[in-house]
Amino acid sequence: MKTVFLTSNTSWYLYNFRASTIQALREQGNRVICLSPPDDFSQRLVDELGVEHIALPLDGKSTGAVQELRSLRFIWKVVRRYRPNAVFNFTVKMNIYCGLVCALQRIPFANNISGLGTAFIHDSWLFRRVRQVYGLVNRRARRLFFQNEEDLSVFRDKGLLGDTPFTLLPGSGVDLERFEVSPLPETGPFTFIMIARLLGDKGVREYAEACRLLKADGLDVRCLLVGPLGVSNRTAISEEEVLQWKEEGILEYPGATDDVRPLIEQAHVLVLPSYREGMPRTVLEAAAMGRPAIVTDVPGCRHAIEPEVTGWMCEVRSAESLAQQMWRVVTMDAAELQRAGDAARRRMEEAFSEEQVVQAYINCLSI
């Protein structure tokens, strides 16, 4: 029996995005251990997916030396104690920290590049040093998994790849049986939905402002914002901001959920004005259900749609550009919107099956 680690900066991520991988690893007889900070999904990893969970003392937005060294020391002790046969790291901080520990202890590991994160969106002395360490770690990995060609090009151009083998994946894939096609709403106001962690870097403020602009122009639209508050990230949206938007009647915030399907069913179009992504899972899930999307013209987002066929693009960090595209789809002929939704589903069936992603991780164990 092999012992396999999956690591992330949240248990929420592992539960929502890696459940199928976990199940496949366990079905092959592996002992699966998840290393992540405790949150509402930690126990669900244990109870529902049958893994062991180790609570990691890690703050995703921290840059303090004492806190970071404490996290690194904890990871070192855990890896030395369990000596896993393989480690799959997800999210930037765990790619670096756990990857470094595995490299020093000669444990096989693979890093998943699911977007470039804050260290690449923002530039400072600290983040430049982070990128240097990232490159050193990646050169020791057994394999790197990328979710779009532009991120791969960035790593190659900045010397963060070395000779490490890599695989280009369609994001984390989408479960086509779970996310079945549902008809577009025929009654009620035209409904938009944004599903994301509530971060500034996800474009949440631009979405709220675009919704404000549409309503100020008298359009009968409903705007849903779905996702967890209180995320450990330097660009996290405050609860006060969300409450203000709700009080102004700009948008509805039903909170976070582990089943977005009923909410996607209520919507006509998904919106994701993110500053950069790997391959946004929410766009893929909405597409599988027959919903086109408006996304920013940035790496990851632009790869999640076929422009003018399964969705539309707006300028990054521009509420005005986003509002223009939202106005466009509200006034679009219903048949044209339906064709975009149908094309989105077909694209998921042809190229974004979750099975491809799971098999890539399974294959990595036997290399």
Do 114 and 90 touch, CB atoms closer than 8 A? Answer: yes
Q: At how many degrees (to 10) do helices 281-288 and 334-351 cross?
A: 110
Asked if 281 and 207 sit in the same domain, the reply is yes
Do 111 and 228 touch, CB atoms closer than 8 A? Answer: no
pLDDT at 158: 84
Question: Is residue 91 one of the residues assigned to a domain?
Answer: yes
Looking at the structure of the chain, the number of domains it has is 2
Asked if 204 and 226 sit in the same domain, the reply is yes
pLDDT at 272: 98
Question: Is residue 185 one of the residues assigned to a domain?
Answer: no
Asked if 165 and 231 sit in the same domain, the reply is no
Per-residue pLDDT tens digits of the chain, which is 367 residues long: 899 999 999 998 999 889 999 999 999 999 999 999 999 899 999 999 999 999 999 986 666 788 999 999 999 999 999 999 999 999 889 999 999 999 999 999 999 987 666 555 556 555 667 778 888 999 999 999 998 888 888 888 888 888 999 999 988 889 999 999 999 999 999 999 999 999 999 999 999 999 999 999 999 999 999 998 877 677 889 999 999 999 999 999 999 998 999 999 999 999 999 998 889 999 999 999 999 999 999 999 999 999 999 999 999 999 999 999 999 999 999 999 999 999 999 999 999 989 889 999 999 887 5
Question: Is residue 22 one of the residues assigned to a domain?
Answer: yes
Asked if 307 and 166 sit in the same domain, the reply is no
Give the Cα-Cα-Cα angle 28, 348, 256 (nearest 5 degrees).
80
Question: Is residue 182 one of the residues assigned to a domain?
Answer: no
Asked if 361 and 308 sit in the same domain, the reply is no
Question: Is residue 155 one of the residues assigned to a domain?
Answer: yes
pLDDT at 162: 86
Question: Is residue 181 one of the residues assigned to a domain?
Answer: no
Asked if 151 and 196 sit in the same domain, the reply is no
Question: Counting Cβ atoms within 10 Å, is residue 45 exposed (0-12), middle (13-18) or buried (19+)?
Answer: buried
CA 62 to chain centre: 20
Asked if 123 and 195 sit in the same domain, the reply is no
Helix, strand or coil for residue 177?
coil
Positive/negative CA dihedral, 66, 70, 71, 73: positive
Q: Which domain holds residue 125?
A: 3-173+354-365
Asked if 128 and 263 sit in the same domain, the reply is no
pTM score, whole prediction: 0.80
pLDDT at 261: 97
Helix, strand or coil for residue 114?
coil
Question: Counting Cβ atoms within 10 Å, is residue 87 exposed (0-12), middle (13-18) or buried (19+)?
Answer: buried
Question: Is residue 178 one of the residues assigned to a domain?
Answer: no
pLDDT at 89: 97
Tokens found for residue 313: 């693009």
Query: Please, where are the H alpha helices in 83-159?
Result: 92-105, 118-121, 125-138, 149-157
Q: Write phi, then psi, for 120 (nearest 5 degrees).
A: -110, -25
Asked if 32 and 166 sit in the same domain, the reply is yes
Give the Cα-Cα-Cα angle 289, 294, 300 (nearest 5 degrees).
90
b/e burial code for range 153-180 (CB count within 10 A of at least 16 → b): ebbeeeebbeebebbebbbbbbbbeebe
Question: Is residue 361 one of the residues assigned to a domain?
Answer: yes
Do 212 and 181 touch, CB atoms closer than 8 A? Answer: no
Asked if 144 and 276 sit in the same domain, the reply is no
pLDDT at 119: 53
Tokens found for residue 341: 């939704």
Do 92 and 117 touch, CB atoms closer than 8 A? Answer: yes
Tokens found for residue 201: 């870097």
Asked if 15 and 162 sit in the same domain, the reply is yes
CATH number at residue 34: 3.40.50.2000
DSSP assignment of 275-321: S--SS-HHHHHHHHTT--EEEESSTTHHHHS-BTTTEEEE-TT-HHH
**Residue corresponding to tokens 């969106």:** 121
Spatial distance between the Cα atoms of 342 and 326, rounded to a whole number of angstroms:
19
Asked if 343 and 282 sit in the same domain, the reply is yes
Question: Counting Cβ atoms within 10 Å, is residue 50 exposed (0-12), middle (13-18) or buried (19+)?
Answer: exposed
